[in-house]
């Protein structure tokens, strides 16, 4: 391969050695240029011989490089002279046009962008779907774990509030005892000697000792609990008479009741007892949670008979003791015989030490 320069524009060109000595046209400036001889080819005397006519025109010069490495390639033609710096010829052969026609078409960038966008969208949807399913699953698990915990907290709070209500009622009974030296009787005592006892409950009697004196003064003590003068108070039951963890069917009823009948603190409706008559205040029921609710202002309580069933709930129930404390009794673990000893104020010494364990 011979590399040479145009004497006019100094553009570098190259040609096969077999074309040494021929005149060609510079592809850049169209000036005639003689291809110099190579080292193996003797250089002809140019002083005695006039310059030969150009054998290649500007139209015959090609910008494609001459391929010399392939053994099977045909020998280059004169129009294969190229300029290394420009790398392109001014003429393009038909073969080049054919090659361009069969070249693979380059993919449009917009098609690539659309495909990429769809792929990204599918990935995002997949991730969002998996994440959503995971969140739903975790949320369901948390709810399943949280609901029982919340329910237990509410039940514990209701038990605590119920026990506090009963404690306040027991303290009101003790305050009545401090004033009159006796506990209230199941039916209210007459206000004056010779008068008929009001048909009202002990729960009305202790109203002044549980910060409900205005309501107490509005009761008509000369009429019964269900008289039109007193019946409006049925739906105004004090909050302390409500069993929070096991409420009564309606707001006019309560399950907090005395024990009445033989072997109790109240053998008859007008009976009343003092603390010095009770053997062991912490071992005697003052009142308890009954199985059947009654109107709160009605003089109705749990009636205990020697051979009949005890009117207590079959499971756990709350009981206020004569000393003002409140306990929860697990009835399936405490026999009726022990319960009767707790109801009887004179049987405290016979009570087992571990009755509530």
Each of the 357 residues of the chain gets a pLDDT tens digit; together they read: 788 888 888 888 888 887 888 888 888 888 888 888 764 444 443 333 444 444 444 444 444 443 333 344 444 444 444 444 444 444 444 444 444 544 555 555 565 665 676 777 778 887 877 877 777 777 777 666 667 777 778 888 989 999 999 999 999 999 999 999 999 999 998 877 778 899 999 999 999 999 999 999 999 999 999 999 999 999 999 999 999 988 888 889 999 999 999 999 999 998 888 988 888 667 899 999 999 999 999 999 999 999 899 999 999 999 999 999 999 999 999 999 999 999 999 886 677 777 766
The Cα–Cα gap between 322 and 2 comes to 129
Q: What is the DSSP letter of 47?
A: S
Q: What is the CA radius of gyration of the chain?
A: 58
Enter the pTM of the model.
Answer: 0.60
The answer to whether 290 and 255 are in contact (CB under 8 A) is yes
Which of 34, 6, 8, 5 shows the shortest CA–CA distance to 20?
34
DSSP string spanning 53-121? PPSS-GGG-B-SPPP-S-TTSPPPPGGG-B-TTT---SB--HHHHHHHHHSPPPPPHHHHHHHHHHHHH
Tokens (6 digits) for 328: 């929860």
Tokens (6 digits) for 240: 């302390």
């Amino acid at each position: 391969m011979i590399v040479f320069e145009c004497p006019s524009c100094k553009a570098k060109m190259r040609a096969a050695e077999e074309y040494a000595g021929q005149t060609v046209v510079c592809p850049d400036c169209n000036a005639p240029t003689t291809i110099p001889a190579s080292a193996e080819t003797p250089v002809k005397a140019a002083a005695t011989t006039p310059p030969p006519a150009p054998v290649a025109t500007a139209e015959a010069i090609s910008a494609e490089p001459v391929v010399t490495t392939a053994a099977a390639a045909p020998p280059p033609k004169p129009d294969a002279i190229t300029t290394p710096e420009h790398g392109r010829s001014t003429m393009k052969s038909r073969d080049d046009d054919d090659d361009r026609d069969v070249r693979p078409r380059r993919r449009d960038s917009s098609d690539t962008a659309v495909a990429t966008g769809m792929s990204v969208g599918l990935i995002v949807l997949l991730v969002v779907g998996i994440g959503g399913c995971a969140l739903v699953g975790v949320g369901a698990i948390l709810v399943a774990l949280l609901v029982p915990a919340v329910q237990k907290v509410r039940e514990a709070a209701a038990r605590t509030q119920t026990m506090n209500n009963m404690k306040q009622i027991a303290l009101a009974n003790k305050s009545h005892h401090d004033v009159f030296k006796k506990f209230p009787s199941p039916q209210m005592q007459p206000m004056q000697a010779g008068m008929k006892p009001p048909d009202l409950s002990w729960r009305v009697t202790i109203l002044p000792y549980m910060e409900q004196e205005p309501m107490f003064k509005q009761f008509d003590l000369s009429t019964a609990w269900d008289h039109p003068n007193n019946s409006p108070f049925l739906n105004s039951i004090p909050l302390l008479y409500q069993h929070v963890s096991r409420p009564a069917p309606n707001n006019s009823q309560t399950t907090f009741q005395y024990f009445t009948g033989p072997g109790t603190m109240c053998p008859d409706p007008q009976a009343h007892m003092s603390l010095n008559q009770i053997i062991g205040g912490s071992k005697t029921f003052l009142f308890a949670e009954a199985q059947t609710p009654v109107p709160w202002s009605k003089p109705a309580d749990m009636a205990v008979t020697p051979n009949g069933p005890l009117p207590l709930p079959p499971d756990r129930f709350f009981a206020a003791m004569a000393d003002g404390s409140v306990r929860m009794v697990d009835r399936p673990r405490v026999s009726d015989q022990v319960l009767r000893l707790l109801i009887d104020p004179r049987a405290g010494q016979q009570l087992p030490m571990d009755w509530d364990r």
